[in-house]
Structure formats: C-alpha cells, structure tokens
Structure 1
Amino acid sequence: MGFFSRLFGLDMPTPTPLTDNSGRRIVTEEKVEQKIPLPGNPFFTNAPEHWPLITDEFLSSNKEFSNNFDEKTGDIILRKRMFMVNSLVLIGKLNEWLSKKTSKKVENDYGGSLLENTDKYATSLCIDKVFEKGIFKTNGIVIDDYKKYAVLLFDRPESIHYINKVKEYFLKEGFEDLIYYAVTDPNTVEENEKEVEFETFSINSFNLDKEKQTLEDSKYKEYKLWWNGEQNISFDQSELLPVLKEYHTNCADCYSYILGKFSYALKLSNDDTRIALPDYDELIITGPENVDIIMTLSKKSGINFHFRAIPVFENYRNNFIKTFALLCKDLKQQVVEQNFDRDPFFVDPIWLDQLVNVVKNNDEIHSFSLIKEGLFDNRLN
C-alpha cells in the first residue's frame, strides 16, 4: 500500500495506462455535449457576432393564414398582419436574448422609436420611422449597450444595394447600424435602381387619448412650434421656415380637407368629411414613433404642430413637418386636378411673414409657440 493510501486509510484506484501494449499513446475521448439544432434555416444577416442565431422557422406559420378573411384588399391586409406577427416574433426573440443577457426583464415597447429612452438595453417593435421624405416602416428597434439598431426582416428577395440605401437614412439619424434578417442572401440578388420606399401619413399614423387633453402636465409647457436648437440657428435662417410657408400656402383654401382627415384618423368622426377650422382649438395627439404633439387649429394661422423643445426632438420636428408638407402638396394637387370646392374662408399665410419680423427684431426670442396659454403675440392666434 502506498504512502497516501496508508495515510488516509484508502485504496488508491489503479492508474490508467498512458500507452497501449504497442506503445502508442492513448488519447482519452472527451464527451462533447450535443446541441439540438434549431428548427428552420438561419437568416442571412449582418447582425453583430454576439447577437443570437435566429432561424426562419416562424415564417412557416404565415402559410396557415388565408387572405379570404376580408372582402376588401385581402392581400394588402394579409401582408400588414404578417408584418406585425413577424415583427412580434423577431423582436421578441431579441428581447428574450437581452433579458437573459442582463438577467432582468428588458423594456419592450410597441410603436415607439425610444427617442427619450436612456436604458442600456431596450427593444420596440413595428416602428413607423419619420424621415424628411416620409415614413419608413421597420420591424423594430434594439438598444444594445446604449447603441441603437434598426431591424428589418426581408421575407422576399432584396438586394444589398437597396438595403445599404436604406441604411444611410438611419445612420444619418444617429443609429449604430441597420440590421437585416433575410431569407435570400442579399448579396446574390441582382442590383437595381429601386428607390427607397417611403409612405406618407395615414389614418393609422395618429391617435388621440382623451385623458391627455389637458395642458396641466408641466412637460407641455416645453412644447414649441420652433426653437433655435443646439446650432443656435435663427428662425428666418432655419430649414423649417420654408417648409412651413410651403404647406400653409398650399392649405390656405383647403384646410377643411386636412382637418376632415385628421378628425377621421383621431376617431372624432365616422368619415373624412370636410370640417371648417374653429376660431381656436388645441389637441394633444400621438404621432408616429409614439411622440406626443400639440396641434393648434385656428382661423388666423391654420393648422400647426408643437413638439417638446429638447434636442432629441429637433430632427423629429423637422422630419414631421416636411412629411406633412408632402401630404398637403398631394392633397392640394388633387383639389386642383379634380376641381374640388375650395374653402370659403381663406387663411392668409402672411401671418408667417409677420411672425418672422417679430422674431427677427427681438434677440431675446429663441423659441415660440402658437398655443394660447404661452402666446407671446396675441395677433398670431
């Protein structure tokens, strides 16, 4: 019995020989844990290496749906529903991964671009991102280690050339990257000159919460039509002024059509029948990206939008107004081409020129609103 066996009163196990009878070294076989492969095929993606592997298995459930459930535009409605379902699953998987990674439940929003979010990790699905050329629909947004990523799912072939075009818009908005999940490898899809597809505002772009219809919340005191921003640009030199002039000129004799569409979108009326401007009114509405906006209505200054005057909303404000101007331009063109009736009451956009002069001659004005409670010049509303 060896020394250690005598010391501890134990029999030592027979040592495993390092060589066999022929003298060859014996290599011990290590047990390798077998991982069960995920169902479906992995997406083609440019996701960061530390992000989870996601397969297309959930897309197979799309085949179980039928477009016979609606007598109207069945295929369009089907695509919209599938977009929502697929977004829910895809962003849900990424949210689940972030929650495991951080060992806590990560915020998962619906429809919000997380503009004011300061969390290290967060997700949001079905985002209508507002750009200066219109709305672009994303499947979601992921914040990973404070970095913001847009997420797009391509269940139909799309070229990397087009995807990179879309990516440029998001990079200019401060996103870290645009992450795609594609069934077909985008690098194998033939390039084409397809332009990025933007949409204008629709009846689904706005909501009205009746419980919010009060300006008692202190944050609403921060809402302005214009503020000089971080670059300290004067109103007469701002990129916003020509856009305001354009849409107010186009709408001057047809505000009733715009207001009718808003009333329908906000579920204040059963259709988009024309509605005349009131002497003055204001509404707190929720626009794309779940942003609260104060809309003022007036026979003096027409329809105007006010946003929280903090840096994170400056670009959103500009993009929103530019998209609204495109909507007004299209509407005015329809009114002219189809010879629709004009409004009996004309809202002269000259008030904007008067506003420019007031602001220009007062160095102490760095922001303003047309909300009556904070109006600096009663002639404006």
Structure 2
Amino acid sequence: MDFSYPPEAEQFRKELRAWLSAHLTDVVIDSNDRRGADDGAFATLREWNATIADAGWAAVSWPREYGGRGATPLEQLVYAEETTRARVPNPLNIIGINNIAPAIMQYGTDAQKEHLLTRMLRADDIWCQGMSEPEAGSDLAALRTRAVRDGDHFVVNGQKIWTSLGHRADWCQLYVRTDPEAPKHKGISCLIVDMTLPGIEARPLVTLNGSADFAEVFFDDVRVPADALLGPLNQGWQVATTTLSFERAAAARLYAEMQVRMAALVTDIAATRGANGSALDDPATLRRLGELDVRIAFLEVLCLRSISAGMSGGDGFATASLAKSVWGDIGKDMAALAFDTLDPGAAAGRWDEFRLTSHALTIAGGTTQINKNITAQRVLGLPRR
C-alpha cells in the first residue's frame, strides 16, 4: 500500500488549496450546518455549487467532457483530503454526482447527457434517487412501486421513503418494477422522472435535529414518457450497480472527516474547565480520546487499503464496506464522548447537533447490517445463509 504522492498530485494539491483559499468563505461553510432547515442556507450552497462547478472543482473524477478533470486516483485522494479538511460542503447533488451521473454516462442518450449532467453539477437542477420503500428498506430488490407500459408512457404507482431532497428535487432517478413475474432482481427498470409531473407528491420528513433533508414521495398514476427509460427494460438492477466509479478515492472522506471532528473535539474539551480543572486532566476522558484516536488511525488504514485495492484491480468495495461500518461506530462514540464531557450548547451547539445526527451515520450510504453481510461474505469468506 504505497501512497507516496507524485509531483503531479502535489501540484494538484497546491492548485486546489490556492483556489479554495481564494473562494471558500465562512458563510459557505456555516451554511452547510443549516442546509436542511434554512432556505437561505440552501440557496447559498446552491450558488457555491455553481461557483465550484464553473471552476472545474465540483467533480474532479468526472471526465473533462462532462465538466470534471479526469483526475487520477491519487489526485482524487488529494481532493478528498483537502476538501474535507477545509470543511468544503458536500454537493447538494452528492447522490447525483456519485451514483446517478455514472449511470447516465453509461446508459443515457446523448441528449440526456448534454441536458442533465452540467445542470446537475451546478445544482441548477436538484436530483433525488427513488430507491427505499416502506416495506423494502435497504433491499432494493424488494421494491413494489410499479410501472406499467401504456403506449408511449409508463404509468407509475407507489411510494418511496427517506428520499434525500425529494421535496426539493427537479428530477428523480426512479427504480420501479416493470415485470412482476420475473425474479425480483430481474424485473426492475430505471426511469428518469421529471418531478413536476402530475400525480407526484413529495412530503418532507423532519428529523430529530429539525432538518428536512428527506422526503416521502408518492406516485399516483404518474405518466412518465417511455423515452425516460435509463438502460434496458427490466435491467434496472444492472443500472443500480453501475460502478464506473470515477470517484475511486471517496473512502478518504471517511477518515479525513473523523480526523477533523477529533481535532475540534479535543480543542473544545480543552477549553472546558470545571471545579477540578480541565476535562483533559480526567484519566477516563483521556482514555476515551486515546481509543478514538487509535480507531481513527485504523479507519485510515482501512480506507487506504480500499483505495489501493481499487487502483490495483482488486476488490476495494468489500474493504470500503467495512470502513463505512467502522466510521459509523466511531461517529456515534465521538458524539457520546462530547455529550458526556462538554456543557450543553458548547461550541455554539455543534456537538448537540452531532449527538442527534450521529446515529444516522450507521444508516446513510448503506446500513451497518448490510455492510456487515458484505464484510462477512467478501472479506471473511463466510457462506450465505
């Protein structure tokens, strides 16, 4: 596992740092914490997305023809480290950029690529992904939302839930069942759906921290043009698992984020003084901090192993799934330590917010249960039950 950076990657780092120094503002950074509850913050981030996209820094792993930089894996690693440590907000269309766009690049028509990708990159259009359903959860193959062909349209009926930005979205990459008689992995199709079509209702879901980042979306006899099909009919599972993976160093964000949070936590604990002095004088607190520091170092090794495997043609996905599970557990334990150590409202309430949202780390981007199954089968070689 060799991550010595060649001169080209270090030059890439230098250019990125210089651009961020000139353009990234505290207003943009602070807006990230309020994006789900403040329309003004959301608008600020939308403007930032356009700014960073126009400069070619929004999706460096994308091919240049679509607005990216065709970055090498090591340049992607540099990008993930630098943007995370600078607290650059994730794109509003992060699911679109990382998951939907590669599918459009592979399966989309020329017209779809030309019209949709640039607008997605700039956040001119907001995208959501219609996967999870009330009775399906993380099991995409168990979806029930139906699409029936009627002339030159599909008629869609069903419900999606926990749809990120579903109530703000202009477009949805929607997975539907088009052949109920086929094996459940075979009868799924993917549609690109205009969210303004009649019969679509999106209701925001407010979470514990007061944010509305998710929605439940209902489809009632929605007529979707047949040319909105993305990929072959009944091959939606193949579209969903598309791994063009331009973003080959995304795992770096996991350890870099926790390193940033850890540094902030140590600073805030050091500033907290009680009757017995600094909280850092407490052996129990020091032990918990030390354990977290070691676990973050272990997480970094896991992430770099995943990236290294991907660069050498190996199976980086399995190690990345393990790293994601470790990341979620570290986040929850760090939030608990902050809650136990700091006064309520410390650091302008940053840790109160993280305490509420930290449990979502084991759900977002793949639940811990699903990732443990992947680890068992693809890392440990255990049989399926």
Q: Normalised by the size of structure 2, how large is the TM-score?
A: 0.26
Structure whose CA Rg is larger: 1
| Higher normalized helix content (fraction of residues) | 2
Name the TM-score, length of structure 1 as normaliser: 0.27
